[in-house]
Structure 1
Amino acid sequence: MPEICPTCGLPKDLCACEEIAREQQKINIYVTKRAFGKEMTIIKGIDEKQVDLEDLASKLKSNLACGGTVKDGKIELQGKHKSRIKEILTGMGFSPSMINLK
């Protein structure tokens, strides 16, 4: 018997909760400077209860060939990747109109 999603009641392989949640996220992307003048791209506003941040961060790091981490509900990536992140997130199902570049 397949696992049932507690939110929508569909089997896990047919569940669309995460896809629907991705379209409704209001995401802010900005670059900040850290120690020794290194730049860090911060992705903020993704609800960790609806989207797996660790998995998303892993996919972003492999696509951008950079390091990074998840801290306090934010994804921190090493380097300046503002423009490329919007394209990648749009390709993953996030709504482009809900992604703000600062």
Structure 2
Amino acid sequence: MPIVIVLSGPTVTQERYKAAVRLLKGGEGGMQRPGDWPVEGLLSHVAGQGPQGFRIVDVWDSEDSCRRFGEQLAPVLQQTGITDPPEVYPAQTFVSAALSHA
């Protein structure tokens, strides 16, 4: 069952997101394809600025993949100053057209 992670809040900013991506990637360059992530299992990643602030939404293929990513992500979030806890829940429905846009 796919698992959704939503990260938003006062400490989640575009600048901190970019810093976290650099740390996860191990340098410059974005994470444009699922293979760019440090663990396998990413189905979807969306990040952007909305009226309520910057928001990041991931969908993972399983609880195990989500957990493995969380283990990689936790120290990166701490290092970049993102302290808002993520919402994590099973997806009721997941539909994807498999597009990739940066």
Q: Same fold by TM (over 0.5)?
A: no
TM-score by length of 2: 0.38
Which one has the largest radius of gyration? 1
TM-score by length of 1: 0.38
User: Which of 1 and 2 has higher RCO (CA within 8 Å, sep 6+)?
Assistant: 2
